[in-house]
Amino acid sequence: MTEYENLSLHTPEEGILVATLDRPDKYNALTLTGFPALSAFFRDVAADRSVRAVVLTGAGKGFCSGLDLEDAASLTSYSANKYVELQQVLGAVAAGMRRCTTPIIAAVNGAAAGAGFSLALAADIRIASTAAKFNAAFIRIGLTGGDVGSSYLLPRIVGLGVATEILMTGRFVLPEEALRIGLVTSVVEPADLMESALATARAIAANTPLGIRLTKQVIQTNIDASSIETALELESRNQTLAVGNADMKEALAAFLEKRPPKYTDR
């Protein structure tokens, strides 16, 4: 895989890719050119069948503090047309993460603020360390609480009322509350964060590649389904595709024979 601005990559084990936002001196703040780089990364991940799960985390003490303040200061000079174009670039990251058929686990090691909050929200699973905290920082600097997909994603994760309060106040949500409201699936000590995220990635990667891709698709689509009948139609289509896949036969045989499966993704 190619190199991406302020993003370091490594593969700790087969099928699992760890992507680390790597500007620790800036709490991994994103530059205006860093957003397109992230979009390109998730497009490339989606096209790489060897990657079965991605763990997204931050270097140093922060997960991601959002847009770099030096770049943010330049926004007031933008024309309306130029700013609309920029918003499309920023929002493309969250949309790309949702479209990416590879599961994304956010290992939130520190502050996830502003656009960093949205990155965490756009992941499929969020695991937080006890040092993590979350906030919609946009509202605190004169913008609105909805940016980079936060107004779409957060209500679907924690519910409308809680999401409204978080987005309108810009206050920090700490780990204990994040777990209680369902913003994260677990909270662990900082030293245990990466192993916890990798354990989840392993559990996902143990299933068939097609099954995982279609499961992410059906969850993303059916959360907005107009009826149970519509949701069932997509589930039926996906199960029909899966049952004809060679990996389904292998998964069933491995389960019955109590051995690790060997998938071919065919």
Write out pLDDT tens, residues 122-158: 999 999 999 999 999 989 888 899 999 999 999 999 9
Report whether 104 contacts 97 (CB < 8 A). Answer: yes
Q: Are 151 and 122 in contact (CB under 8 A)?
A: no
| pLDDT single digits (tens) 73-93 | 787 788 888 888 888 988 999
Instruction: Look at strands 7-13 and 53-58 and give their pairing.
Output: unpaired
Distance in angstroms (rounded) separating the CA atoms of residues 51 and 37? 18
> What is the per-residue pLDDT for 82?
84
Cα gap 157→160, rounded to integer Å:
9
- What pLDDT, on the 0 to 100 scale, is given for residue 154? 97
What's the distance, Cα to Cα, between the start and end of the chain in Å? 22
Residue by residue, pLDDT tens for the chain (266 residues) are: 678 999 999 999 999 999 999 999 999 999 988 999 999 999 999 999 999 999 999 999 999 999 887 887 787 788 888 888 888 988 999 999 999 999 999 999 999 999 999 999 999 999 999 999 999 998 988 889 999 999 999 999 999 999 999 999 999 999 999 999 999 999 999 999 999 999 999 999 999 999 999 999 999 999 999 999 999 999 999 999 999 899 999 999 999 999 999 999 87
Structural domains in the chain, sorted by start: 7-204 (3.90.226.10), 207-257 (1.10.12)
Q: State how far the alpha carbon of 79 is from the alpha carbons of 31, 71, 75, 85, 128, in Å.
A: 19, 15, 9, 10, 38
